[in-house]
């Protein structure tokens, strides 16, 4: 089975994660998918296959070298984003895309257009896999899973290619920030690993945001509006006052590259109580810490005007893996060289987001991120060029060869 056939099969599984269940995996579809993959790996003859109660699937392709070489790992996640439905995904292949608009759903007038998504112009002449406009596609990260299994299968059926032990793992709940929480690094047993969870072809990432979540609660006082003067405290208005005190331009829609931000992701409230949820992101650790202190400062400032109105809960989520990767930069050099051998131009860039690899790196498993090929993740306009998936598969093979060399 080739990488495309696997991918088209995998996206049929509904594996959307859900941060509200407090379970691992957070949704039953992820375990169903993991059990399917467990059977596939068994049929391929891999060894040390294990699937635990939390949905973490691991396996080994034993090495065939006559010398001891490092054990390298490859990791991808089972779940798709909660941002949009991943149920009843109906993928379609656009053969040799000729440019221009792609009608995803004529009835609903849903069009994938280079006017809104100019990156489409980079793939003219290539075959693309798109959605039907009703769901996301699931290339994040079922493309990564398909690439890893296809690469391992290729090495298995080509014993003339020498390689060391190769460990693979598929974990749940990456999209809700829980993917690495119960990952058993010691059991995995790799010297280092790569997550196949990046975007466009050539992406190679070993820097990511430092991340925190902030819950800001505003306590109000409700009084009949006709008699409210000097008595009412409208928590919605106080929350709005807090929000506009943050730097206007330090938001996702105004930042790029290494620029950090405050992102208001949720607000719910009435006069008596309003809760705002922010995520805080910055690549630089010092700026990250200053952003958290700024929220604390603003909370105190508002409380000076409205005593005991504001309470703030801050929780760190993950940190920039760069500090864990820099001492072992040879794993980045290996990935870059492997891409070049596979005919790919490496594009080393920071991740404007998070990755399981960040948490794994801090748990003792250095784990940069490699492209899986998809674009426009988490929505109906997601697509993946078939040559990008093939190049990702080739890159995995080349890494394994180079580690043995």
Q: Is residue 143 a contact partner of residue 373, using CB atoms and an 8 Å limit? A: yes
C-alpha to C-alpha distances, 79 to 7, 131, 170, 210, 387, nearest whole angstrom: 14, 17, 10, 22, 23
Q: Compute the distance between CA of residue 41 and CA of residue 60 in angstroms, rounded to an integer.
A: 9
Q: How far is CA 208 from the centre of its chain?
A: 11
- Residues taking part in catalysis: 79, 174
In sequence order, what E strands does 78-155 have? 92-94, 102-105, 110-112, 128-130
CB count, 10 Å around CB of 159?
A: 9
Going by C-beta distance under 8 Å and a sequence separation of 6 or more, which residues neighbour residue 22? none
Are 166 and 70 a contacting pair, CB within 8 Å? no
Q: Give residue 85's region: left, alpha or beta (phi > 0; psi -120 to 50).
A: beta
Q: How far apart are CA 247 and CA 364, in angstroms?
A: 36
């Amino acid at each position: 089975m080739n990488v495309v056939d696997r991918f088209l099969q995998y996206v049929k599984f509904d594996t959307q994660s859900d941060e509200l269940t407090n379970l691992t995996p957070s949704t039953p579809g992820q375990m169903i998918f993991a059990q399917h993959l467990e059977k596939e790996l068994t049929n391929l003859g891999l060894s040390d296959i294990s699937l635990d109660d939390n949905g973490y699937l691991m396996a080994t392709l034993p090495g065939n070298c006559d010398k001891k070489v490092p054990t390298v790992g490859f990791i991808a996640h089972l779940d798709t984003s909660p941002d949009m439905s991943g149920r009843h995904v109906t993928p379609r292949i656009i053969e040799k895309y000729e440019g221009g608009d792609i009608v995803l759903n004529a009835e609903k007038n849903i069009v994938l257009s280079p006017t809104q998504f100019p990156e489409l112009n980079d793939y003219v002449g290539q075959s693309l896999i798109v959605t039907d406009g009703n769901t996301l596609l699931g290339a994040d990260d079922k493309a990564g899973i398909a690439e890893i299994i296809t690469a391992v299968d290729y090495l298995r059926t080509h014993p003339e290619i020498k390689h060391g032990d190769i460990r693979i793992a598929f974990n749940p709940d990456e999209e809700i920030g829980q993917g690495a929480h119960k990952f058993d690094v010691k059991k995995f047993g790799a010297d280092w690993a790569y997550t196949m969870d990046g975007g466009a072809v050539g992406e190679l990432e070993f820097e990511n945001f430092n991340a925190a979540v902030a819950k800001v609660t505003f306590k109000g006082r409700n009084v009949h509006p006709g008699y409210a003067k000097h008595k009412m405290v409208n928590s919605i208005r106080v929350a709005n006052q807090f929000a506009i005190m943050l730097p206007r331009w330090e938001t996702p829609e105004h930042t790029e590259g290494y620029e950090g931000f405050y992102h208001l992701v949720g607000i719910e409230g009435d006069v008596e109580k309003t809760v705002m949820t922010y995520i805080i992101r910055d690549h630089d650790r010092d700026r990250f810490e200053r952003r958290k202190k700024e929220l604390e400062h603003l909370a105190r400032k508002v409380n000076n005007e409205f005593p005991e109105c504001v309470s703030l809960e801050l929780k760190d989520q993950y940190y920039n893996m760069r500090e864990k990767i820099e001492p072992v930069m040879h794993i980045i050099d290996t990935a870059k060289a492997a891409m070049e051998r596979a005919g790919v131009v490496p594009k080393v860039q920071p991740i404007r987001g998070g990755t399981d690899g960040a948490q794994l790196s801090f748990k003792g498993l250095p784990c940069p991120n490699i492209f899986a090929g998809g674009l426009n993740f988490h929505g109906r306009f997601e697509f993946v060029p078939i040559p990008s998936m093939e190049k990702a598969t080739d890159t995995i093979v080349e890494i394994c060869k180079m580690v043995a060399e």
